[in-house]
Amino acid sequence: MESSGGKTIGILGGMGPEATVDLFAKIVRATPARVDQDHVRVVIDSNPKIPDRTAYLRGQGPDPVPAMVAGIHNLVRIGADLILIPCNTAHVYYDRLQAASPVPILHIMREVARVLAAGRDEGAPVPRRVGLLATELTVESGLYHRSLAEVGIEVIVPEPDVQELVTKSIFGPEGIKAGCYAPSRSRLLAAGHHLVERGAQALIAGCTELPIVLRPGASPVPRTDPAEILARAALREVLGVDTGGGGAAGWREGTDAGAAGSPGSTDSSLRNGLPPETGPRPGARGRAGEAS
């Protein structure tokens, strides 16, 4: 294939660092390339010092927008034609960021809505009720609710006690950001089953850290990965072609057939870039195997 003609994807990262790595890996894996030169140019500003996105709106910290805008300008200065933000919660500030950006910023919720409305495969039914696993601020913001309502899809959110489990899975001392994957995964699976019991026909892993620990085959309903959708949407923009499976990859990721570790499965943690089944990443503050 031809290269992208010099178009460059910019990733405003660091929110968090592992989600940034995950998005970049998904861009690379989704690119229809035969040689290095077929890949698109990607520039990344991974700044974990950006103030907490939730704390500011709770009146407990500084405004993160100036630091995010500085990162966007950095990326544009070194050639970015399009900006991706691998943080669902940061999209609460999307309007302010886009107003300050000289280049387009893809909106992760709108891209998810576009893909879900199209169905997982040609002729497949579109889900009418989806469950949302996300941070409290993402849930409260209604960003997914509004984007999906425009395509006729209802969003179901966890009950408060279950939402607390999701929050703990992301931010807690034994959470994903602390490098503790196994306890987080157990809580998230329980929250996903709770949403299915409430009528969800599909699940959205609406925090970019969640796909780091949620494996194929773990959900009783299809589960979509917004970071995967964002990666493919960016390639669509810079290559001018649909790389295929913009939503299918996310949908297939949640089906029980061919789950990782099952007989005949072609998936593996290594191939999918997933962390080990148990234990924290090297150097993590958390401890492996602790009960949730």
Return the structure tokens found at 246: 């913009």
Residues 75, 42 contacting (CB under 8 angstroms): no
Residue 180 annotated to the active site: no
Tokens 């300008």 sit on residue: 73
The type of residue at 25 is A
**Which residue do the tokens 């699976």 mark?**
189
DSSP letter at 281 equals: P
Can you say how many angstroms the Cα of residue 275 is from the centroid of all Cα atoms in its chain? 16
* Residue of 12, 23, 87, 157 marked catalytic: 87
Q: Which of 109, 88, 114, 104 is nearest to 7 (CA)?
A: 104
Catalytic pick among 109, 207, 230, 231: 207
Q: How far is CA 283 from CA 41, 203, 286, 288, in A?
A: 31, 31, 9, 11
CA angle (211 as vertex; 129, 89 as ends), nearest 5: 70
| Residues annotated as catalytic (active site), given as ranges | 87, 207
